[in-house]
Amino acid sequence: MTATYQLSHLGALESEAMYIFREVAATFERPVLLFSGGKDSVVMLHLARKAFWPAKLPFPVMHVDTGHNFPEVMEFRDETVSELDVRLVVASVQASIDAGRVVDEPGVSRNRLQTTTLLDAIGEHRFDAAFGGARRDEEKARAKERVFSFRDEFGQWDPKNQRPELWNLYNGRHRPGEHIRVFPLSNWTELDIWRYIDAESIELPPLYYAHHRRVVRRDNMLMSLCEWIQPAEGEEVLEAMVRYRTVGDATCTAAVESAATTAAEVIVEVAATRITERGATRADDRFSEAAMEDRKKEGYF
Amino acid sequence: MELLRFATAGSVDDGKSTLIGRLLFDSKAIFEDQLEAVERASLQRGEETNLALLVDGLRAEREQGITIDVAYRYFATPARSFVIADTPGHVQYTRNMVTGASTADLALILIDARNGIVEQSRRHAFLASLLQVPHLVVCVNKMDLVDYDQGVFDAIVAEFRTFAMRLEVSDLSFVPVSALVGDNVVHRSAAMPWYEGSSLLHHLESVHIASDRNLIDVRFPVQYVIRPRDDSHHDYRGYAGQMAGGVLKPGDDVVVLPSGWPTKVKAIETFDGPVGEAFAPMSVTVRLDDDLDVSRGDLICRPHNRPHAGQDIEAMVCWLHPAPLRVGGRYTIQHTSRSARAVVKDLAYRLDVNTLHRDEAAHELTLNEIGRLSLRTTVPLFYDEYRRNRATGSFILVDEATNATVAGGMMLDPSQVTG
């Protein structure tokens, strides 16, 4: 606190996010926080905790589980929810496949299938607001997303017909069956997230920091070997020092070479990096110019 | 490091996208994969690398060559972090400009040096002033196309200053730039030795924003009541919210509106521990000495510095929806953490944003129009004049049938006869 009464930029972003959490808790009946164990959702959960302290979170968290997980992330997820004493809802893509709601194509990422599972779970639990960790700096379709993003009864986003959002007066009104996606981290950048993780000593799944891993180089990305990723003919298995910039479905999230073992070291790398985090590590965003835009319209995160 | 939010306004022809692309590129906020995508797209169009494509948006926009919505962009320098609300110049200009300007510390207006001040420049300046954006920067762009002529720049500055005297602009600056070449965007240009001011980026980094907020009038709208109901916090009652004005300290005498009960601030708490003072825009939890009935929508202030309280509201509104406003219409009003129903009692006039002419015969407002309204609300609102406090002086109107946000409003002093 200084005599100029000016918050730091992280302080301003934190305060804005806490304000958004409290607005939703005060005006919605059944909110849920989407929690994957990825760094953005971990930061989001930390901010939610701050917003309601010393009370517990007034809503559950939900993981949309593709079944293709990094074991370290699942372990982290379970430890976190038990420590915070918060209810975890797991929405399973495998269950959607078994029920015939979606068709799993072998060798293809389950990323897109998550949309059906997510929307089914929102309907089943009658959630009226879902907090997501998306940031506007991630991608150009996200750059135009509102903080309170209205979804119709089919869960769809209509980018051409969004509600104007003025000052900090968020309009969350909706009819039964419709819902609002809420993005408290809208104005954060990747570097802000890391600076905040460092400043607040927020714990992350270990694969966000440099570690040894067996990988193959595929489409110029380092994919970790696991149950679902095996070397194809002619692919060489490398032992590399890597970390993850994003953590999603294990079949479509790549690692980057890194020596950073602390948040402070990651910040140095992120500040120097010249490639966006989605461009570097997400096979799913590279298949078309408008990949994210199309998935978002269908109701994706 | 501070955060500065700024809104840009201008059309494609003014070189706005090129200017933003240049700021992002020269401040190294552009990544290689983004630049490669732009190079590919430029090549396809048979152009040299077109920085404007960096800020291209959705597919529908690319197909139609237009921008349909406010886009938010981010970059940082060692001095500050920046959030840009990039608003399109043509389609739905008022709605988008008002949205972008509502949260902006600074508005950046582009003028093409060859064309000088056009209708759109005046409109943007007026909207920035209506929304009380504290700082206005006019970039006179395409100086390279007028041979970096000081006379051209000086004439535009003089004309703009004359026009701005009719507006409420407290801080006005001018920078001659060429976004295409990069003159005076990030670095001072050798091509214009007659210009003694700073580059645009340097201005954005150093403009003084600390005193823009209201630190005089304590305003704390209660947003959410925290009651843990567990054994360790059995009787805990905390009032969570975001400071909207003034500086609040433990021990301060306060009153809670609407009840008007006097009490004292027992503590101001956060997850990280108690704080000795809270100011806007901090999110905190306030605890009071007395056990009062306080709920969301109440407002905590000092006993001798209270906001206006009333059900009759005078305001300037910007209409944001295709279905027009009509006198007698009923809406939901959202103001700070308080919601009520409101009926439109009167439309005093519609304002022409180009000429500032007041049309007192108007009986409705259509999309993108601005007018002065009288509203009657079902419960009292606790508010300040927008000019004095943007947080406690602003509201939105929501259509009760469609749930659409139909208007943004700026409250006026109730004793003001004209305005």
B-facing residues of A in 46-65 (CB < 8 A) are: 49-56
Q: Could you say which of B186, B212, B238 is where a domain stops?
A: B212
Residue of A148, A169, A245 to mutate, testing the B interface (most B Cβ within 10 Å of its Cβ): A169
pLDDT digits (tens, 9 = 90+) for B175-212: 999 988 889 999 899 999 999 999 999 999 999 988 88
- Note whether B176 and B41 are same-domain residues: yes
**Residue A281: predicted pLDDT:** 62
- Below-50 pLDDT ranges, chain B: 417-419
Q: Could you say which of B250, B280, B301 is where a domain stops?
A: B301
Of A25, A140, A165, the CB nearest to B224: A25
**Residue B154: predicted pLDDT:** 97
pLDDT digits (tens, 9 = 90+) for A50-69: 999 999 999 999 999 988 88
What token pair was written down for B7? 């809104």
**Residue B353: predicted pLDDT:** 84
**Residue A287: predicted pLDDT:** 44
Q: Between chains, do A165 and B405 touch, taking CB under 8 Å as contact?
A: yes
What token pair was written down for B159? 């004309």
Q: Is the pLDDT of residue A289 over 60?
A: no
- Note whether B208 and B278 are same-domain residues: no
- Closest Cα to residue A56, out of A28, A25, A29, A91? A25
Residue where the block lists tokens 């000052």: A167
Residue where the block lists tokens 């700021």: B23
Distance to chain A for B32, nearest Cα, Å: 5
**Residue A2: predicted pLDDT:** 45
Distance to chain B for A136, nearest Cα, Å: 7
Q: Are B265 and B231 in contact (CB under 8 A)?
A: no
Residue of A4, A5, A7 to mutate, testing the B interface (most B Cβ within 10 Å of its Cβ): A5
The sign of the torsion formed by the CA atoms of A226, A229, A230, A231 equals negative
Q: Is B285 left (phi over 0), alpha (psi -120 to 50) or beta?
A: beta
Of A7, A12, A23, the CB nearest to B223: A23
pLDDT digits (tens, 9 = 90+) for A135-186: 998 877 788 889 999 999 888 888 878 899 999 999 999 999 999 999 999 9
Of A52, A165, A191, the CB nearest to B99: A165
CA distance B68 to A144: 10
**Residues 6+ positions from B169 with CB-CB distance below 8 Å:** B125, B128, B129, B136
Q: Between chains, do B95 and A174 touch, taking CB under 8 Å as contact?
A: no
Q: Are B284 and B270 in contact (CB under 8 A)?
A: yes
- Note whether B77 and B191 are same-domain residues: yes
DSSP labels, B343-395? EEEEEEEEE-TTT--EETT--EE-TT-EEEEEEEEEEEEEE--TTT-TTTSEE
Of A5, A18, A51, the CB nearest to B279: A5
Q: Between chains, do B80 and A9 touch, taking CB under 8 Å as contact?
A: yes
pLDDT digits (tens, 9 = 90+) for A218-239: 877 888 877 777 888 888 888 8
Of A4, A15, A143, the CB nearest to B282: A15
- Note whether B147 and B12 are same-domain residues: yes
pLDDT digits (tens, 9 = 90+) for A68-119: 888 889 999 999 999 999 999 999 888 888 888 888 887 677 777 888 899 9
Distance to chain B for A92, nearest Cα, Å: 31
**Residue B57: predicted pLDDT:** 61
- Note whether B17 and B120 are same-domain residues: yes
Domain range spanning residue B295? Answer: 220-301
Percent of chain A with pLDDT over 90: 51
DSSP B54: G
Distance to chain B for A23, nearest Cα, Å: 7
**Residue B64: predicted pLDDT:** 60
Helix (H) or strand (E) holding B165: none
pTM higher than the cut 0.90: yes
- Note whether B30 and B50 are same-domain residues: yes
- Note whether B91 and B183 are same-domain residues: yes
CATH number of the CATH domain containing B318: 2.40.30.10
Of A8, A143, A167, the CB nearest to B1: A8
Task: For chain B, give percent helix, strand, coil, nearest 5.
Answer: 20, 35, 40
Q: Between chains, do B1 and A175 touch, taking CB under 8 Å as contact?
A: no
- Closest Cα to residue A49, out of A76, A14, A101? A14
CA distance A200 to A116: 35
Q: Is the pLDDT of residue A200 over 80?
A: yes
Q: Between chains, do A163 and B76 touch, taking CB under 8 Å as contact?
A: no
Helix (H) or strand (E) holding A18: helix A9-27
Q: What is the complex's ipTM, to 2 decimals?
A: 0.93
Q: Are B73 and B89 in contact (CB under 8 A)?
A: no
Q: Could you say which of B190, B212, B234 is where a domain stops?
A: B212
- Closest Cα in chain A to B212: A6
CA distance A255 to A277: 10
pLDDT digits (tens, 9 = 90+) for B265-276: 999 999 999 999
Q: Between chains, do A55 and B229 touch, taking CB under 8 Å as contact?
A: yes
Q: Is the pLDDT of residue A285 over 90?
A: no
Tell me, yes or no, if A190 comes closer than 8 A to chain B by beta carbon. no
**Residue A301: predicted pLDDT:** 73
CA distance B85 to A144: 10
- Note whether B341 and B381 are same-domain residues: yes
- Note whether B231 and B84 are same-domain residues: no
Q: Which of A22-36, A60-74, A201-215, B26-40 has the lowest mean pLDDT?
A: B26-40
Task: For chain A, give percent helix, strand, coil, nearest 5.
Answer: 40, 15, 45
CATH number of the CATH domain containing B116: 3.40.50.300
Residues in chain B closer than 8 A to A274 (CB atoms): 31-32
Counted domains in chain B: 3
Distance to chain B for A82, nearest Cα, Å: 17
Strand, coil or helix: what is A76? helix
pLDDT digits (tens, 9 = 90+) for B324-357: 998 999 999 999 999 999 999 999 999 998 888 9
Residues in chain A closer than 8 A to B230 (CB atoms): 56
- Closest Cα in chain B to A1: B277
Round the average pLDDT of chain B to a whole number and report it.
90
- Note whether B396 and B296 are same-domain residues: no
- Note whether B40 and B173 are same-domain residues: yes
Asked whether the bond before B176 is cis by omega within 30 degrees of 0, the reply is no
Of B72, B76, B281, the CB nearest to A143: B72
- Note whether B180 and B225 are same-domain residues: no
